[in-house]
Amino acid sequence: ATSETRGGKRRGSGAKMLEFQAIILAGGTGTHLYPMTEGVTKCLLPVAGHHLIHYPLKLLEANGFKEVIVCTRAEARDEILNYVQQFPALQVDLQVVDAEAETADVLRAIKSRITKDFVVVSGDLITDVKIYHLADVHRINDATCTVLLRAPKKPDPRQQGGKPVKESSGPADFVGLDEKGSRLLYIKPVADVEDKLTVPKRQLMQYPNMKVTKKMLDAHLYIFSRWVLDLLDQEKDIASIKTELVPFLVNQAQFDTKPVPGQPALARSDCGDDSIIGTPVAREAPREGEGGGHVPIKCHAMLLEDGYCARADTIRAYREMNFEVPRHGYGDSVPWDRHAKSFGDKTDEEKKALGKQVGSECVVGEGFVIGDKSSVKKSVVGKHVTIGANVKIDNCILLGHTSIEDNATMSGCIVGANCHVGKDSGLSNCNLSARYSVEEEAEYKNENLCLEVEE
DSSP string, 154-195: PPPTTSGGGPPPPPPP---EEEEE-TTS-BEEEEEEGGG-SS
Cα–Cα nearest to 424, from 397, 442, 437, 447: 442
Top pLDDT among 171 and 103 is at 103
Top pLDDT among 180 and 31 is at 180
Q: Whole-number mean pLDDT of the chain?
A: 82
Q: What is the pTM of this model?
A: 0.82
Distance CA 345, CA 367 (A): 7
Region for 177 from its dihedrals, namely left if φ exceeds 0, alpha if ψ lies in -120 to 50, beta otherwise: beta
pLDDT of 197 above 60: yes
Q: Are 79 and 104 in contact (CB under 8 A)?
A: no
Query: Which residues have a Cβ under 8 Å from the Cβ of 406 and sit 6 or more positions away?
Result: 371, 388, 389, 390, 391, 423, 424
Query: Which residues have a Cβ under 8 Å from the Cβ of 34 and sit 6 or more positions away?
Result: 315, 448, 450
pLDDT of 336 above 70: no
Count of C-beta atoms within a 10 Å radius of residue 75: 13
- Element at 212 (helix H, strand E): strand 211-213
pLDDT of 215 above 50: yes
Tell me phi and psi for residue 256, to 5 degrees.
Answer: -70, 145
Tell me phi and psi for residue 441, to 5 degrees.
Answer: 60, 15
Structure confidence by residue, pLDDT tens digits, 262-319:
899 887 555 544 443 334 444 444 333 333 488 899 999 999 988 889 998 888 888 8
Top pLDDT among 336 and 250 is at 250
Structure confidence by residue, pLDDT tens digits, 137-155:
999 999 999 999 988 765 5
pLDDT of 74 above 80: yes
Distance CA 30, CA 73 (A): 12
Count of C-beta atoms within a 10 Å radius of residue 406: 17
Count of C-beta atoms within a 10 Å radius of residue 267: 10
Distance CA 436, CA 420 (A): 6
Cα–Cα nearest to 118, from 20, 194, 216: 20
SS3 state at 230 = helix
Angle made by CA atoms 259, 261, 267, in degrees to the nearest 5 = 60
Name the pLDDT band for 411 (thresholds 50, 70, 90): very high
Angle made by CA atoms 47, 16, 179, in degrees to the nearest 5 = 80
Q: Are 225 and 144 in contact (CB under 8 A)?
A: yes
Angle made by CA atoms 255, 251, 114, in degrees to the nearest 5 = 95
Percent of the chain clearing pLDDT 90 (strictly above): 45
Mean pLDDT computed over 203-219: 88
SS3 state at 77 = helix
DSSP 140-155: HTT-SEEEEEEPPPPP
Q: Are 438 and 423 in contact (CB under 8 A)?
A: no
The whole-number pLDDT of residue 235 equals 93
Name the pLDDT band for 111 (thresholds 50, 70, 90): very high
Distance CA 338, CA 330 (A): 10
DSSP 282-322: P-PPPPTTSSS-BPPP-EEEEEE-SS-EEE--SHHHHHHHH
Percent of the chain clearing pLDDT 70 (strictly above): 82
Please give the C-alpha separations between residue 361 and each of 255, 276, 376, 379, in angstroms, as whole numbers.
52, 50, 10, 8
Distance CA 309, CA 125 (A): 7
The whole-number pLDDT of residue 99 equals 79
Q: Are 455 and 439 in contact (CB under 8 A)?
A: no
Cα torsion angle, 142, 146, 152, 156, sign = positive
Distance from the Cα of residue 367 to its chain's centroid: 29
The whole-number pLDDT of residue 173 equals 85
Name the pLDDT band for 333 (thresholds 50, 70, 90): very low
**The one-letter amino acid at 399:** L
pLDDT of 50 above 80: yes
Distance CA 388, CA 148 (A): 46
- What is the layout of strands, in order, in the sheet containing 375-377? 375-377, 392-394, 409-411, 426-428, 443-445
Mean pLDDT computed over 233-255: 93
